[in-house]
Structure 1
Amino acid sequence: MGQPVELIGVVVVLVGAVLAAVRQAVTVALRVGEPAGSLLLAVTVTVIAVALIVPLMISGGHGRRH
């Protein structure tokens, strides 16, 4: 991904998707109630974090040597 405009577009879409997922999880958590709602929010945040970190670990980053 070499173009800054593409990078900004990807970041905006990614942030929007994460915020939408968390908003939906909060809505469901409020309907479910405690303690399942808190567990649902914790799992949601964990899945989002893993989904963002694992591709970076697999790709090796920008400084990877072939």
Structure 2
Amino acid sequence: MVEDAREELLTVREVARRLRVDDTTVRRWIKSGALEAITLPHRGKRQAYRIKKSTLDQLLNSSLPVE
């Protein structure tokens, strides 16, 4: 039952591919607050994020244009 409560988390690259945009665009949306994401501990050159699949689904189902 606990596994049912877990939600799929997507990387910035996975979200970018699904939306057909560049990784940088997804990162910009996260930093501006347009896309909710989970911030992971910083390692390396770039901040790592994970986006809930439900958040992406909401974005895709909304009638608001994404800029």
TM-score, normalised relative to structure 2:
0.28
Q: Which structure is richer in relative contact order (CA contacts within 8 A, separation 6 or more)?
A: 2
Q: Structure 1 or 2: larger helix share?
A: 1
Find the structure with the greater CA-based Rg.
1
